[in-house]
Structure 1
Amino acid sequence: MRRWGWLLCCWLLAGCVALSAGGKPERPHEAAVKQTEAKPLPKDIHLVALGDSLTEGVGDGERKGGYVGRLVPLLAAEDGVRTVTVTNAGKRGRRITELEPVIRAHQAELERAHIVMITIGGNDVMNVVRAHFFDLSYERFANESQRFAERLDHLLMLLRTINPDAVVVLIGLYNPFSATLPNIPEIDDVIAEWNRTSQAVVSRYPRTIFVDIQDMFANRDDLLHRDEFHPNAEGYAQMAVRVYESLDARKEWWAN
């Protein structure tokens, strides 16, 4: 009798272990479902790149697509990312007044984008130089910077109307003008103020990032193409890493 009692006790204990917290047995397929739910499925990321020659990749002697082309494998290597596809709408010489038609022409791609990259402003600065080469002043750049900020605000509002969820990344300006504008010793201050103004606009929008690259190119002619304006292959490589680091810090915005 005692033997039967001991067997009964063992059987009851085994039954308790087999029960889940809800009092029901946990079947093998249910455990597999829980593991699948805990790990997100691989995601296909679509990136839209807008802007000027830096987005186009002008100056990239290795022909790897500038910073955009080098950013793709960095993003694709992330856990949870299956593929990264790109729509590149960059064009050399483009100024911010010319960007709205590009956005509207690529509305379908922007609606499904997870990440939107923008480089714009370098040609706006150069336009001030060309228009006022013999009477350049800090005030002329400052006035144009304010107009640029108003246009940038309008474009970001348009992008948010098209796609409220995508991560929008604006890459700031750097100073390639030290050799070409010796009569404007304050050009570093001009670029820094332009970037601060742009960053202030960006900060008003959710899921939007400003990436500062001015320090990266400071006194680094070795990162410039022979035209002394555009980045070379190494310059674009460093830009891609800087952008990737900024995106990786906000990975929950685009990879989940």
Structure 2
Amino acid sequence: MKKWGLIFLLLLYCAGCSSEQAINAASLPERQIKLTPRTVANDFFPKDIRVLALGDSLTEGVGDHEQKGGYVSRLRQQLLQHKGVRTLSVINFGKRGLRISKLDDVVHEHANEVRQADLIFITIGGNDMMKIVRSHFFDLSYTLFEKEQKRFAERLDHLLAMIRTYNQHATIVLVGLYNPFSNLLPNIPEINDVIKLWNNGSKAVLARYDRTIFVNVKDLFDGRDDVLYSDQFHPNEVGYELIARRVYEQLQQHEEMWLGSLEQ
């Protein structure tokens, strides 16, 4: 009987201690815990990227002595090294001699590929300028190029609007013009100014649309015959490598644009 009495007293003592601890704990101020949300980096989860390349002979890779596919294939290899890219598929519709007036048809004929693309690369304009040269070789002037540039800008605006009707999310990258005409057009000393005029006009058109990048490559070719193919018009393998690097640099600077909204 004494044994049970001792156990009963011990239980009462423990209960008292627990109650006192509970009261003391209740009297303590609540500890405020703040969870600070952290932004996940765009490249934290690698993405599957679908690339569509549109345009002229530069997209096709004409002049690439190594037969590696011009700047598009070289750019693909660089993108595959990006930690934010898991897989990369490329569809290339580049065609030699293509002018901007014909690019609408390419987009329309391949609407499904346009819809599915995450990145759309475009080279266009070189053949449009060459058409002016061939049609007005003996009466070329800055004023003539200025007039034609306005028409080119209008067509570029129409092209971008068409692409956006098919695809709202893709990042569109336009590679600018360089000057291969210095040896061909000695009678037009303002040809560098003409190239700048066309590039600035194209850049202004792209600025009207979200998710677009203009890539200036003119400086890569200024005064450098070693980056041109034997026809002195198209880039050679060195020129294409320079273009690919410049485009990749621009993509790195705009990762939020082309990686940020893609699904894992």
Q: TM-score, normalised by structure 1?
A: 0.85
Question: Corresponding residue for 1:123?
Answer: 127
3-state SS of the aligned residue for 2:93?
Answer: strand
Q: 2:82 aligns with which of 59, 78, 83?
A: 78
Question: Corresponding residue for 2:69?
Answer: 65
CA drift of 1:78 comes to: 1.2
CA drift of 1:76 comes to: 1.3
Within 5 Å, give how 1:200-239 maps onto structure 2.
200-239=204-243
CA drift of 1:39 comes to: 8.0
Distance 2:220 2:183 in 1: 17
Distance 1:251 1:37 in 2: 10
Within 5 Å, give how 1:5-154 maps onto structure 2.
40-154=44-158
Q: Work out whether 1:180 is the aligned partner of 2:184.
A: yes
Q: What root-mean-square deviation, in Å, do the aligned CA atoms of Structure 1 and Structure 2 show? A: 2.7
Q: 1:250 aligns with which of 236, 254, 261?
A: 254
The code of the aligned residue for 1:230 comes to H
Distance 1:188 1:197 in 2: 14
Structure 1: unaligned runs, 5 residues or longer:
14-20, 23-35
Number of equivalenced pairs: 235
Question: Corresponding residue for 1:170?
Answer: 174
The code of the aligned residue for 1:247 comes to L
Structure 2: unaligned runs, 5 residues or longer:
1-12, 26-32, 35-39
CA drift of 1:73 comes to: 1.5
Cα 1:42–1:178 shift into 2, 3 Å = same
1:179-223 per-position Cα deviation (integer Å, ceiling 9, x unaligned) = 111111111011110111111101110000111111110001110
1:50-75 per-position Cα deviation (integer Å, ceiling 9, x unaligned) = 00000000000111111000001111
Distance 1:39 1:180 in 2: 45
Cα 1:38–1:55 shift into 2, 3 Å = closer
CA drift of 1:38 comes to: 10
Q: % of aligned pairs identical?
A: 56
Question: Corresponding residue for 1:159?
Answer: 163
3-state SS of the aligned residue for 1:103?
Answer: helix
CA drift of 1:42 comes to: 2.6
4+ residue stretches of structure 1 with deviation over 4 A? 36-40
Q: TM-score, normalised by structure 2?
A: 0.83
Distance 2:251 2:98 in 1: 25
Cα 1:165–1:129 shift into 2, 3 Å = same
